[in-house]
Amino acid sequence: MARSSAQPPESAPVAVVGAGYAGLSAALALHDRGVPALVLEGADRVGGRVHSGRTEHGVVIDHGGQWVGPTQHRLLAWAERFGCETFPTWETGRAVELWHDGAVREFTGSGPDDGPGVAEYHDAVARIDALAAGIDLDAPASCPRAAEWDAETVHSFFRRTVACSEARRRLDLAVQGVWSAEPREISVLHLLFYVASAGGFDQLMDTAGAAQDSRFAAGAQAPALAAAERLGDAVLLGTRVDAVEQRGDGVVVRTSRGPVRAERVVVATPPPATAGIRFEPALPTARQRWVQRSAMGDVAKVHVVYPRPFWRDAGLSGIASLYGADATGVVFDNSPRGAEFGVLAAFVYGDRLRAWSAMSARDRRAEVLGTLARLFGEQARNPLEYLEKIWPTDEWVRGGYAANPAPGSWIAHGAEGWRAPCGRVHWAGSETASAWHGYIDGAISSGERAAREVLAAL
Ligand SMILES: Cc1cc2nc3c(=O)[nH]c(=O)nc-3n(C[C@H](O)[C@H](O)[C@H](O)COP(=O)(O)OP(=O)(O)OC[C@H]3O[C@@H](n4cnc5c(N)ncnc54)[C@H](O)[C@@H]3O)c2cc1C
Query: Residues 205-226: what's their mean pLDDT?
Result: 97
Whether residue 355 contacts residue 185, with contact meaning beta carbons closer than 8 Å, is answered with: no
Q: What is the largest CA-CA distance in the chain?
A: 68
Which residue's alpha carbon is nearest to atom 48 within ligand 1? 48
Which of 330, 357, 396 best tests ligand 1's pocket when mutated (most atoms within 8 Å of CB)? 396
Q: State if residue 427 touches ligand 1 by the CB under 6 angstroms criterion.
A: no
Task: Give all strands (DSSP E) within 288-414, no chain letters.
Answer: 294-296, 299-306, 316-322, 328-333, 342-349, 385-390, 403-405
* 50 CA distance to ligand 1 middle (Å): 6
For residues 126 and 174, give the distance between their C-alpha atoms in angstroms, rounded to a whole number: 14
Is residue 34 exposed (0-12), middle (13-18) or buried (19+ Cβ within 10 Å)? exposed
67 has a pLDDT exceeding 80: yes
Helix (H) or strand (E) holding 106, with range, is: strand 104-107
The 10 Å Cβ neighbour count of residue 204 is 23
The 10 Å Cβ neighbour count of residue 315 is 11
β-pairing, 328-333 with 316-322?
antiparallel
Q: Is the peptide bond before 401 cis (omega within 30 degrees of 0)?
A: yes
Residue 5 is predicted with a pLDDT of 63
For residues 70 and 68, give the distance between their C-alpha atoms in angstroms, rounded to a whole number: 7
* 299 CA distance to ligand 1 middle (Å): 13
2 has a pLDDT exceeding 80: no
Q: Mind listing the pLDDT tens digit for each residue in 259-316?
A: 999 999 999 999 999 999 999 999 999 999 999 999 999 999 999 999 999 999 999 9
Whether residue 350 contacts residue 399, with contact meaning beta carbons closer than 8 Å, is answered with: no
For residues 188 and 24, give the distance between their C-alpha atoms in angstroms, rounded to a whole number: 32
Which residue's alpha carbon is nearest to atom 49 within ligand 1? 48
Chain-centroid distance of CA 9 in Å reads 32
β-pairing, 258-267 with 342-349?
unpaired
Calculate helix-pair angle for 118-132, 154-161, nearest 10 degrees: 120
Query: Residues 431-437: what's their mean pLDDT?
Result: 98
Ligand 1 atom closest to the Cα of residue 255 is 42
For residues 456 and 43, give the distance between their C-alpha atoms in angstroms, rounded to a whole number: 30
Q: Is the dihedral of CA 412, 415, 416, 420 positive or negative?
A: positive
26 has a pLDDT exceeding 90: yes
Closest CA to 347 of 66, 29, 22: 66
Q: State if residue 241 touches ligand 1 by the CB under 6 angstroms criterion.
A: yes
151 has a pLDDT exceeding 80: yes
Ligand 1 atom closest to the Cα of residue 66 is 8
Exposure string (b/e) for 327-343, b if CB count within 10 Å is 16 or more?
Answer: bbbbbbbbbbeeeebbb
Q: State if residue 394 touches ligand 1 by the CB under 6 angstroms criterion.
A: no
Which of 25, 49, 203 best tests ligand 1's pocket when mutated (most atoms within 8 Å of CB)? 49
* 279 CA distance to ligand 1 middle (Å): 22
Which residue's alpha carbon is nearest to atom 39 within ligand 1? 42
Q: Which amino acid is at 139?
A: A
8-state DSSP, 5: S
Q: Which amino acid is at 191?
A: L
Do you know the residue count of the chain? 458
The 10 Å Cβ neighbour count of residue 10 is 9
Residue 109 is predicted with a pLDDT of 84
Ligand 1 atom closest to the Cα of residue 72 is 11
Whether residue 370 contacts residue 359, with contact meaning beta carbons closer than 8 Å, is answered with: no
Whether residue 322 contacts residue 98, with contact meaning beta carbons closer than 8 Å, is answered with: yes
Whether residue 299 contacts residue 400, with contact meaning beta carbons closer than 8 Å, is answered with: yes
Whether residue 329 contacts residue 352, with contact meaning beta carbons closer than 8 Å, is answered with: yes
Closest CA to 206 of 263, 268, 122, 275: 122
Ligand 1 atom closest to the Cα of residue 240 is 42
Q: Mind listing the pLDDT tens digit for each residue in 330-342?
A: 999 999 999 999 9
110 has a pLDDT exceeding 90: no
380 has a pLDDT exceeding 80: yes
Ligand 1 atom closest to the Cα of residue 301 is 1
User: 3-class SS at 189?
Assistant: helix
6 has a pLDDT exceeding 90: no
Query: Residues 164-192: what's their mean pLDDT?
Result: 97
Chain-centroid distance of CA 55 in Å reads 22
Name the more confident of 84 and 102: 84
CA distances from 113 to 12, 18, 116, 119, 349 (A): 57, 44, 10, 8, 26
Q: State if residue 447 touches ligand 1 by the CB under 6 angstroms criterion.
A: no
Residue 446 is predicted with a pLDDT of 98
Domains defined for the chain, CATH in brackets: 11-48+221-283+422-457 (3.50.50.60), 52-91+211-215+298-393 (3.90.660.10), 113-205 (1.10.405.10)
Which residue's alpha carbon is nearest to atom 35 within ligand 1? 18
* 95 CA distance to ligand 1 middle (Å): 29
Whether residue 213 contacts residue 207, with contact meaning beta carbons closer than 8 Å, is answered with: yes
* 47 CA distance to ligand 1 middle (Å): 7
Residue 1 is predicted with a pLDDT of 61
Q: State if residue 297 touches ligand 1 by the CB under 6 angstroms criterion.
A: no
Q: State if residue 49 touches ligand 1 by the CB under 6 angstroms criterion.
A: yes
The 10 Å Cβ neighbour count of residue 247 is 10
8-state DSSP, 337: T
Closest CA to 276 of 7, 18, 1: 18
Which of 4, 241, 269, 277 best tests ligand 1's pocket when mutated (most atoms within 8 Å of CB)? 269
User: 3-class SS at 32?
Assistant: helix
User: 3-class SS at 13?
Assistant: strand
* 406 CA distance to ligand 1 middle (Å): 19
